[in-house]
Amino acid sequence: MYGLNPRLEAFCLPGRERGVGKVYRYPGNRSNQWRKHTGAKRYRWGSLAGVPMRLVFVTAAAIAAYTTQFVMQHGAVLQGTISSWTEPLPDPIDGRASIIDGDTVEIAGQRIRFNGIDAPESRQYCDDAKGFEYPCGRRAAQALDEFLAASRPLHCSFVERDRYGRLVGNCERADGVSVQRWLVEQGLALDWPRYSNGAFAAEQGTAKAAHRGVWQGRFDQPWDWRAGHSDDPQPAISQPLGIVGSGQVAQSYSCQPRRYCAQVGSCAAAQWYLHNCSWGRKLDADGDGKACETLC
């Protein structure tokens, strides 16, 4: 009569009149049925709402596990980043440098990365003018060792810390020659515009025009090479990479790229490839367990 739901009107008391002050009730048995009916609906909705909550807990657990794994894998990077924010830069340092690789040295236990340049990695190979591979990373480290030995001590002043916590600095020999400029001019390292703002572009142009160092043939820029070899297994060696003493380079090997005996530099390297690389047995032509016997 008044536009109410007919089913509700049947339960309303008294009658079907709507007036001010009227109280509407349901009979006892119908009221219980109504409460049970609505309660069942609430229960079904509650059970459905529990499904997303379980998903939330599972997602939170997954995020926590991923975070733990990330911290374990990248702890050194995180620690270096925190150190770069909190630790002040030390005063300039002078001392005898040990060579780590073509752009990193160590003085009195302090690891120093040369500012604004990037040298080939210790495991990196480049092509020479005839198209033959050679260990350009180790070649750069050897040349750096000889260059620094000619005028000691090395003087370094620092500009920042990198994400690994290493000090980044500008270094000069005792005679005042810039190490970074010399490395780039000899084609042993590249100007790294991302950090140098082109400070060594002129030296790089000179090296390129003269076909010095890596510019004699084909090579990957070190930052590109690292990006393409980030998943390579580390070389199975007992000594750290780089120069471990004056005139002595710590050996480092990698199964990439594949090599033939003509491209292997020593008997020790040939035996490492034989026992550690899937293609290493190809170096043992007669199957006697010794690779590239002409080198031994």
The 10s digit of each residue's pLDDT in 248-289 is 333 456 676 767 888 887 888 888 787 777 677 788 887 777
Q: What angle do CA 184, 232, 274 make, to 5 degrees?
A: 105
Please give the backbone phi and psi of residue 291, each rounded to the nearest 5 degrees, phi first.
-90, 145
Least trusted range by pLDDT, from 14-23, 50-59, 142-151, 181-190: 14-23
Nearest-CA neighbor of 222 among 266, 188, 267? Answer: 188
Which pLDDT score is estimated for 241? 42
Which CATH number is correct for 92-226+236-248, 2.70.40.10, 3.30.1340.10, 3.20.20.450, 2.40.50.90? 2.40.50.90
On the question of pLDDT at 230 being above 90, the answer is no
Which pLDDT score is estimated for 286? 79
Identify whether the C-beta of residue 156 lies closer than 8 Å to the C-beta of residue 112: yes
Nearest-CA neighbor of 179 among 236, 97, 251? Answer: 97
Least trusted range by pLDDT, from 42-56, 79-93, 94-108: 42-56
Identify whether the C-beta of residue 249 lies closer than 8 Å to the C-beta of residue 138: yes
Least trusted range by pLDDT, from 5-9, 117-121, 129-133: 5-9
Place of tokens 């009107």: 9
| Separation CA 218–CA 214 (nearest Å) | 7
What share of the chain in percent tops pLDDT 70? 65
Which pLDDT score is estimated for 242? 39
Kindly report, residue by residue over 152-161, the tens digit of the pLDDT: 999 999 999 9
Mean pLDDT confidence for 85-98: 89
Predicted confidence band at 245 (pLDDT cuts at 50, 70, 90)?
Answer: very low
Which pLDDT score is estimated for 44? 53
Least trusted range by pLDDT, from 3-7, 172-176, 209-213: 3-7
On the question of pLDDT at 138 being above 70, the answer is yes
Kindly report, residue by residue over 157-206, the tens digit of the pLDDT: 999 999 888 899 999 999 999 999 999 999 999 999 999 999 999 999 99
Which pLDDT score is estimated for 68? 67
Domain ranges of the chain: 92-226+236-248, 253-296
Which pLDDT score is estimated for 83? 54
| pTM of the model as a whole | 0.56
Parallel/antiparallel/unpaired status of strands 154-161 and 93-95: antiparallel
Kindly report, residue by residue over 10-40, the tens digit of the pLDDT: 545 554 444 444 544 545 555 555 555 555 5
Predicted confidence band at 236 (pLDDT cuts at 50, 70, 90)?
Answer: very low
| Separation CA 165–CA 70 (nearest Å) | 18
What's the Rg (C-alpha) of the chain?
A: 36
